[in-house]
């Protein structure tokens, strides 16, 4: 669908409320899909039935996941609430309940096996995911100034839920991070020599930090290999390394490792939390390091540890042990 005044009004509503670029792209995508599904009818002329048919088609015909259904519904609700100016009352379709799955975790030896297949910044990023409990987007958005070698801490600016926090900086990563920072400095100096050197910042912060955009301290710790145009403000800048580039290298490393597990970037964060609890770290401390608002979110890792089943003997163990003793 070409650009239209309506879609631009949706974009403006998202930016006014300071939604992230990722959320903006996602919401715009689902609004477009909703309009296309309903034969390009304007949303003002649609009713609950149109919304319900679209969501049903996603679930039945396209067989999307519950989380994708919920995302599409969130985008449509946002559009009607803030652009059309009316609530979707009486909608015969609620948010789909997503299954509560226990997270997959890796043992230290499994993490080591995967990391041995990685090199360069991909290996350093993986070490930060596992050693600091970062989400992949948090790791890629780190700037030079966010690394504090003095007190061994990493500052996470506006993590999930737009919350700032500090987490651990592993001592074993100090040398690698210093080498990475030197690479960033060399790249930044080259950009400055060519008349560039600006880093990308959220649109809402550009005016506030205008004078700092060309500072070395504000450069991304894992910058992109190429400069680009800022998607909102239009200036030429250097963004951070893209998540898809990291995920491709991680996937290749997992395949080479021959581990019979599904491993994603988030698996290392799960493994970080589980390992800390195994070592006896207080759960409140783990909650703060992970940036969880609700302690219940952190408590899921106690289920992974099997703390509630500690000491319980399976009935079959007694039978097998008895047979072994008699044989």
Annotation says 301 is catalytic: yes
Which residues does residue 240 pair with via DSSP β-bridges, in sequence order? 223
> Residues 129, 269: contact at Cβ < 8 Å?
yes
User: Other CB atoms closer than 10 Å to residue 158's CB: what's the count?
Assistant: 14
The encoded tokens of residue 275 equal 């390992």
From the list 11, 50, 121, 135, the catalytic residue is 135
The answer to whether the CB of 293 falls within 8 A of the CB of 159 is no
One-character DSSP codes across 300-326:
HHHHHHTGGGTTPPPHHHHHHHHHHHH
Instruction: From the candidates 121, 188, 239, 269, give the one annotated as an active-site residue.
Output: 269
Catalytic annotation, pick one of 53, 123, 145, 266: 266
- Candidates 188, 230, 270, 292; catalytic one: 292
Residue 82 bears catalytic tag: no
CA distances from 271 to 130, 174, 268 (A): 7, 21, 5
CA distance 160 to 291: 8
Rounded Cα gap, residues 116 and 322, in angstroms: 42
- Cα–Cα distance for residue pair 284/119, rounded to 1 Å: 34
50 is known as an active-site residue: no
Confirm whether 3 is a catalytic residue. Answer: no
What residues pair up with 223 in beta bridges, in sequence order? 240
Of 62, 81, 152, 160, the catalytic one is: 160
Backbone angles phi, psi at 172, to 5 degrees: -70, -10
Catalytic residues: 135, 160, 266, 269, 292, 301
């Amino acid at each position: 669908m070409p650009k239209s005044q309506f879609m631009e009004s949706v974009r403006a509503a998202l930016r006014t409320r300071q939604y992230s670029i990722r959320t903006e792209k996602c919401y715009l995508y689902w609004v477009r899909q909703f309009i296309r599904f309903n034969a390009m009818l304007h949303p003002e002329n649609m009713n609950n039935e149109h919304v319900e048919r679209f969501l049903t088609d996603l679930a039945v015909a396209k067989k999307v996941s519950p989380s994708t259904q919920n995302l599409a519904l969130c985008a449509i609700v946002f559009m009607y609430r803030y652009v059309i100016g009316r609530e979707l009352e009486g909608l015969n379709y609620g948010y789909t309940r997503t299954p509560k799955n226990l997270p997959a975790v890796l043992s230290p030896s499994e993490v080591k096996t995967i990391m041995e297949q990685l090199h360069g910044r991909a290996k350093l990023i993986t070490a930060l995911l596992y050693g600091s409990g970062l989400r992949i987007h948090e790791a890629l958005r780190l700037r030079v100034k966010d690394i504090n070698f003095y007190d061994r801490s990493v500052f996470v600016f506006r993590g999930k839920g737009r919350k700032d926090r500090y987490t651990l900086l592993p001592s074993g990563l100090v040398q690698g991070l210093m080498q990475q920072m030197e690479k960033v400095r060399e790249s930044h100096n080259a950009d400055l020599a060519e008349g560039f050197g600006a880093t990308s910042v959220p649109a809402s912060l550009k005016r506030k930090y205008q004078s700092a955009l060309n500072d070395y301290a504000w450069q991304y710790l894992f910058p992109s290999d190429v400069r680009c145009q800022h998607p909102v403000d239009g200036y030429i800048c250097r963004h951070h390394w893209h998540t898809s580039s990291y995920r491709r290298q991680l996937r290749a490393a997992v395949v080479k490792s021959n581990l019979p597990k599904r491993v994603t970037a988030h698996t290392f964060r799960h493994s970080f939390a589980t390992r800390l609890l195994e070592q006896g770290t207080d759960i409140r401390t783990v909650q703060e390091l992970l940036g969880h608002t609700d302690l219940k979110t952190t408590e899921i890792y106690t289920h992974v540890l099997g703390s509630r089943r500690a000491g319980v003997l399976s009935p079959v163990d007694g039978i097998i042990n008895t047979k072994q003793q008699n044989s």
